[in-house]
Structure 1
Amino acid sequence: MKHWKHFITHDFQTYQTADNLIPCELFESHGCYSGGALKVGDKLAMFYTGNTRRTSDNQRVPYQNLAIFDLDGKLLSKRPLIENAPKGYTEHVRDPKPYLTKEGKIRFVCGAQRENLTGTAIILKWLIWMIRHA
């Protein structure tokens, strides 16, 4: 099962293990796939794709998820941000890479496949308030 192993280092020579991101919720039932993370205040926000399959037809249902950790590596919460693909896209929307804008807003880029099966990238928005109050 795909998951994230979480380590903390300050010198890239010694490492401390932290809570891992292990799939145990419906929105990540078939694995915690790639993404990215940002430090926001005194928290670490990990954005990742939760891989799931519908039992009725084994169809992939993409979730873009958020896990919040404290700076000591303790998992505080995790939840889905976006369920399903946006209109006009297939179920292949994944791998959120977060960044901060000059205005201090969080955006993330996801790889995506259009309904005509061509690839693209989409930019999604998120609120820092949700992370600080997690």
Structure 2
Amino acid sequence: MPSGRWMIPKGEVRRLRGGRNPEIQAELRTIAEIASWMLKNRFRDAIVDVKLFGSVARGEADEESDVDLLTVVKDKIDESELERELGDMIYDIMLATGRFVQLLIYKESGFEDAKSWNPTVRNILREGIKL
């Protein structure tokens, strides 16, 4: 049994092998675009912005990647009802595709505030792709 000091982290193995899979990248990007289209069409009066972020946005998706979406909604929207409906829609997408979709929801004012202090939001602003 090899000792722990010889173990190579899984991400490093993928990087050393080339790690990126164009077919998976294209599949996950398509799922993101479909999810964005569904969200915008179903909630057109509530959605301000949808951005793809994470490994798919960076072009680094692999077999274990998920689809990360930021959704910014208008301040006047009832958050609990919207979150339930968005969650149901994302769940249906996950069932249909077999891929995990992570949805990060911000109200407009909260998103504007988070731009100044939240590292995740700052990262999304840097590398996110508007859908």
Query: What TM-score do you get using the length of structure 1 for normalisation?
Result: 0.31
User: Whose radius of gyration is greater, 1 or 2?
Assistant: 2
Structure with the bigger RCO (C-alpha within 8 Å, sep 6+) is 2
Greater strand share, structure number: 1
Greater helix share, structure number: 2
